[in-house]
Amino acid sequence: MFAWRDDAPGLVRAFTDRHDGVSVAPFAGLNLGAHVGDDLDAVRTNRAAVEQAVGMPLVLADQVHGTDVVHVTRELLDGPRSATGAVAEGDALVTDLPGTALGVLVADCTPVLLHDLAGPLVAAAHAGRPGMVGGVVLRLVEAMRDLGASDLRATVGPSVCGRCYEVPGDMRAAAMAVSPASAALTWTGTPAIDVATGVVDQLQATGVSVEWIPGCAREDAALYSYRRDGRTGRYAGIVGRPA
């Protein structure tokens, strides 16, 4: 169920994998994405299993490869949900509510978890190439600091590596203009982008300490990868503070 998990006192951080779920091919396993064509009952069962494992309800947004930050309040949680069960549209979530796990769904993109050592705030971001170029993690860090965070830590999860993310040269140039560290080459020497390296570079530039969990989604069959499989499921990055 978990590719990586850490339960420190008062904090749960985790990245799921595709094991222990009920979805069938091509989503085989613990698919948590309700927008990919999987049977919705299977997705609900998978999400319920993850919620039971982390001991908190899982809050998700409808992700659009943007940079909007959703502040998850009690009023938002009590409001209507979208057809996928999302509380809002956006690619980053932040909350100070205990007993609430925030999640982002990925299948090659970079999942980023943040928490404040000095306060209750936790957050999660979905950072694909558009999100990295647009600065979604920068907007999330700014939002957390505006809400009072003073000692932020980030956990960056497994995603497609630079060797496996071939792109046209002009696309790599656009990413390099934002983060030179994101420039990469594939196994065969063609232009590529290392989104996770770009995200880590952005976080460190804002003074946020980073823990980077290794792994390439395309190379690891235990993770969902759109680049590898096309039609596939989604794994999650999850963070929350138990009540």
pLDDT reported for residue 25: 96
Place of tokens 């999860």: 157
Under the banding of pLDDT at 50, 70 and 90, the label for residue 152 is very high
Cβ-in-10-Å burial (0-12, 13-18, 19+) of 8 comes to exposed
Peptide bond into 26 cis (omega under 30): yes
| Percent share of the chain, pLDDT over 90 | 100
CA distance 61 to 112: 14
pLDDT reported for residue 188: 95
Task: State mean pLDDT over 14-24.
Answer: 98
CA distance 116 to 122: 6
Give the model confidence (pLDDT) of 59-85 as tens digits.
999 999 999 999 999 999 999 999 999
Under the banding of pLDDT at 50, 70 and 90, the label for residue 164 is very high
Give the model confidence (pLDDT) of 125-149 as tens digits.
999 999 999 999 999 999 999 999 9
Whole-prediction pTM = 0.96
pLDDT reported for residue 195: 98
The string of DSSP codes covering 114-142 is EEETTSS-EEEEEE-HHHHHHTHHHHHHH
In CATH terms, the superfamily for domain 62-217 is CNF1/YfiH-like putative cysteine hydrolases (3.60.140.10)
Task: State mean pLDDT over 102-106.
Answer: 98
Q: Are strands 69-71 and 2-8 parallel, antiparallel or unpaired?
A: unpaired
pLDDT reported for residue 96: 98
pLDDT reported for residue 129: 96
Q: What is the mean pLDDT of the chain?
A: 97
- Rg of the Cα atoms in the chain: 17
